[in-house]
Amino acid sequence: MTAAATARLAFDGSGIDGSLFTSVTGFARATPWLNTPMEVWTNFGLGVFAILMITGWWNARRRGTQAMALALAAPVGVATAFAAAEIVKMIVAEVRPCRSMPHAYLVDACPAPSDYAFPSGHSAVAAASVAALFLLDRRLCAIAAVFAVVEGFSRVYVGAHYPHDVLGSAVIALPVAFLVSLASRRWATPVIGSLSHGALRPFLAAAMPTVGTQTAR
């Protein structure tokens, strides 16, 4: 099947919130100074969520086996949520806005016709990170939530997704990542408890400080 035929068979989501999409891309047209920063962020900003999960893992070393189980489950939950979003994407087969609304202002390049729009994979990763960190560390979760909103907005700003693509990704990713992390904590906690006494201890538990004796003056 040719690329043109693939595009014709795909679902056109412009009738759902195309006007809101063009309002956001119109804002992008009016803020050319922001185009490059938003394009860089939308493609590389996901690294922030990796940093937050690494921070959660580092802190979990001092909080016990259940916290460590949640820290190690976080990337598993995010990967599972992303996979679920990709499956839905292939089923729905919604054509990208750049093809259904070619006259809109677009910052990002238009992907191949077989790269569908609903849901947003980038936003799914961001939302899944929020859910996984919610169980691990509420402060890190709050930071992730702010960045997730920025990531979702950037996907519409650069013209890669409709607003409903971003919202749909959150609806899918949040419960999937939350449930996977919750289930992983149940079975991983005893395993981590056992491994914490072996060679992997430096990665799973922080060394307890020793209490030294004070010298007499």
Mean residue pLDDT of the chain comes to 83
Q: What angle do CA 118, 121, 124 make, to 5 degrees?
A: 100
Alpha helix (H) residue ranges in 93-137: 97-100, 121-136
Residue 26 has pLDDT above 80, yes or no: yes
* pLDDT tens track for 34-52: 999 999 999 899 999 999 9
Q: Residue 79 contacts by C-beta under 8 Å, 6 or more apart in sequence? A: none
Across the range 49-63, mean pLDDT stands at: 88
Residue 189 has pLDDT above 80, yes or no: no
Total of domains in the chain = 1
Question: Comparing 59-73, 130-144, 155-169, 182-196, which segment has the lowest mean pLDDT?
Answer: 182-196
- Please give the C-alpha separations between residue 216 and each of 86, 96, 210, 211, in angstroms, as whole numbers: 66, 75, 19, 16
Whether 72 is covered by a domain: the verdict is: yes
Confidence (pLDDT) at 196:
53
Across the range 199-216, mean pLDDT stands at: 48
Across the range 55-75, mean pLDDT stands at: 83
Peptide bond into 37 cis (omega under 30): no
pLDDT band of 197, cuts 50, 70, 90: low
pLDDT band of 1, cuts 50, 70, 90: very low
Whether 67 is covered by a domain: the verdict is: yes
Please report, in angstroms and rounded to a whole number, the separation of the first and last CA atoms in the chain: 86
pLDDT band of 2, cuts 50, 70, 90: very low
Nearest 10 degrees: Cα torsion 150, 152, 156, 162: -160
Range(s) of the domain holding residue 102: 17-108+119-191
Whether 210 is covered by a domain: the verdict is: no
Whether 82 is covered by a domain: the verdict is: yes
- Distance in angstroms (rounded) separating the CA atoms of residues 61 and 188: 15
- Distance in angstroms (rounded) separating the CA atoms of residues 199 and 201: 6
Residue 213 has pLDDT above 70, yes or no: no
Element (H, E) at 92: helix 65-92
Residue 139 has pLDDT above 60, yes or no: yes
Whether 157 is covered by a domain: the verdict is: yes
Residue 119 has pLDDT above 90, yes or no: yes
pTM of the model: 0.83
Whether 113 is covered by a domain: the verdict is: no
Burial grade of 150 (CB within 10 A; 0-12, 13-18, 19 or more): middle
pLDDT band of 4, cuts 50, 70, 90: very low
